[in-house]
Amino acid sequence: MKRLSGLRLQVRSPERLAGFYADVFGMDVQAEGEVWRAGYAGQDADLILLPGGAQVPHRRDERYWKIGICLPDLDIACEYLRQKGVEVSAPHQFRDIGYMAHLHDPEGFAVELLQHDFLGNRPDGAGNAALPLGGGAHIGQITLRTGDIAAEVSAHADMKLLSVQNVAEFGFDLHFLAFTDETPPDPDLRAVANREWLWRRPYTTLEFQHIAGAQLRESPAFLGLETT
């Protein structure tokens, strides 16, 4: 089956940024000429870091938003990052979506950390403080913004819609698609019961933050997705 295997980003220093993801996030990295690839072993997508990027702010009206890293124990992960000198937000349960924290990498790209379990639901011994991010991390989401979700779902008809999550008070909803034959446990794709299941999937989902009617500009650093 086809899979979402990479996110292409144009950056100032692929080698330096790959080193950050290796040292801080425990990713495996390799050079492919001037391009560097960083990622975890498994079914999830890699970061494909290409040269030629510029120092520009990443704005909320851009199509590209972030990656999400899913992991077993967010508290261990955040403590690990702080010990590495990385500034990360305090973990918090965001509505009925997930227990999460946020940071930015050295080139200003947003990274979301998302625990497999909601706050209070994490089993004992889920993480290992001796491992990067507590172990068990993978790239769970690549997030793009859109003003027209129907067009996106149509354009990605070869992917399966796994979850729809409403965040009405912030003016958007979230849609998660993947190359998979799996079916969520609850047939209602808006069901909260599907969310912890979703954060445990070993593959990367394509997440759309849908802001109805939004006019978005192309992200200078976002060069597209790789599928294999």
Tell me what the mean pLDDT of segment 70-87 comes to: 98
Strand residue runs (E) in 121-221? 138-146, 160-167, 172-178, 205-210
Residue 27's pLDDT is 98
Nearest-angstrom CA–CA distance, 191 and 176: 13
Nearest-angstrom CA–CA distance, 1 and 130: 35
Report the chain's terminal Cα–Cα distance, integer Å.
9
Is the predicted pLDDT of residue 32 greater than 90, yes or no? yes
Poorest-confidence range of 9-23, 52-66, 175-189? 52-66
At 55, the pLDDT band (50, 70, 90 cuts) reads: confident
Residue 127's pLDDT is 97
Nearest-angstrom CA–CA distance, 144 and 127: 29
Please state, as a whole number, how many other Cβ atoms lie within 10 Å of the Cβ of residue 119: 15
The side-by-side arrangement of strands in the sheet containing 98-104 is 92-94, 98-104, 110-115, 64-71, 138-146, 205-210, 172-178, 160-167
Nearest-angstrom CA–CA distance, 112 and 102: 5
The mean predicted confidence, pLDDT, of the chain is 97
Query: From residue 80, how far is each of 24, 77, 101 by CA, in Å?
Result: 9, 5, 13
Nearest-angstrom CA–CA distance, 221 and 56: 9
The answer to whether the pTM exceeds 0.95 is yes
Is the predicted pLDDT of residue 224 greater than 90, yes or no? yes
Is the predicted pLDDT of residue 25 greater than 90, yes or no? yes
Q: What percent of the chain has pLDDT over 90?
A: 96
Residue 56's pLDDT is 78
Please tell me the total number of residues recorded for the chain in this structure: 228
At 57, the pLDDT band (50, 70, 90 cuts) reads: confident
Residue 59's pLDDT is 86
Q: Over the stretch 177-210, which tens digit does the pLDDT of each residue have?
A: 999 999 999 999 999 999 999 999 999 999 999 9
Nearest-angstrom CA–CA distance, 133 and 130: 9
- Locate tokens 């190359």: which residue? 179
- Rg (alpha carbons) of the chain, rounded to whole number: 17
Residue 54's pLDDT is 87
Nearest-angstrom CA–CA distance, 128 and 181: 31
Please state, as a whole number, how many other Cβ atoms lie within 10 Å of the Cβ of residue 63: 14
Tell me what the mean pLDDT of segment 106-114 comes to: 97
Taken in order of first residue, the domains within the chain and their CATH numbers are 55-217 (3.10.180.10)
Q: What share of the chain is helix, strand, coil (3-state, %, to 5)?
A: 20, 35, 45
Residue 112's pLDDT is 98
Residue 124's pLDDT is 97
The SS3 call for residue 226 is: strand
Tell me what the mean pLDDT of segment 57-80 comes to: 95
Residue 65's pLDDT is 97
Tell me what the mean pLDDT of segment 109-121 comes to: 98
